[in-house]
Amino acid sequence: MAYSASNASGVTITVHDLKSKPYIDLTLSVMNHFGWYVNCINHEQFVFKAADNKQSLNPITYQVEGDWSGASFLLVAGAIAGGIVVEGLDPFSTQADKAVLQALIDAGCQISIQPTRIEIAPLPLKAFHFNATDCPDLFPPLVALASVCNGVTKIKGVSRLAHKESDRGLTLQTEFAKMGVQIELVGDEMLIHGGSLIQSATVFSQHDHRIAMACGVAALVANGPIEITEAEAINKSYTNFFTHLQELGAKVDIQ
């Protein structure tokens, strides 16, 4: 973005083994709205063009997209615990975490994808295979989903989890084990043994917002209370998460 803002022209940046390509696509899409154009060649070369100063100086109206990362937890909640409607999501978005839709479809939930809303409801769920290398933030909600799917779910991309707010591979394995869910870490794959009843337990967010939300979603189908310590970690990305679960009918005691 700095190159575009400086009116650099003809500058080429070459990147090898680029990760999280959808996030790059999202950035380029936003830049394009503001008249800053970059030619992306196979996600390896990025050729910058001079910005149209006239266009960039004129005011425009831009609507920020709904957040697929936060919504993924609500969509999984709907798939395992009761039918809900989530509005404000763009099914044509370049956001990486939109890929949660494919996982939900593969798991066999009832889902209707419309231009401005997603309707989702539970059905008997089955294990699925998913590559989360380019969307590692989906690991926590997908682990909650896989926990209630019959069979062993395989999610690829564990190597992307070590340097998040916690080492999410190990954190998910540890905290979901407390709820009776066996998770294996085999190379770059996570294997979640699902289909057993989620057990009442006290879990620790490890100060990681997505771990707190994943445990909160799993708690919706537990055989008793799930206590999440340091649950205020959700404030990093989704302050109203537990309040929204309450509004959807879940029994949540927020202390």
CATH architecture group of domain 68-247: Alpha-beta prism (3.65)
Range with the lowest mean pLDDT among 39-53, 142-156, 217-231? Answer: 39-53
Does 94 score more than 70 pLDDT? yes
Domain spans of the chain?
Answer: 2-57, 68-247
Which candidate in 25, 97, 106, 137 is catalytic? 137
Q: Is residue 137 annotated as a catalytic residue, yes or no?
A: yes
7-12 contacts: CB < 8 A, separation 24 or more?
7/50, 7/51, 7/53, 8/48, 8/50, 9/48, 9/49, 9/50, 10/47, 10/48, 11/47, 11/48, 12/45, 12/46, 12/47, 12/48
Q: What is the pLDDT of residues 168-214, one digit of tens each?
A: 999 999 999 999 999 999 999 999 999 999 999 999 999 999 999 99
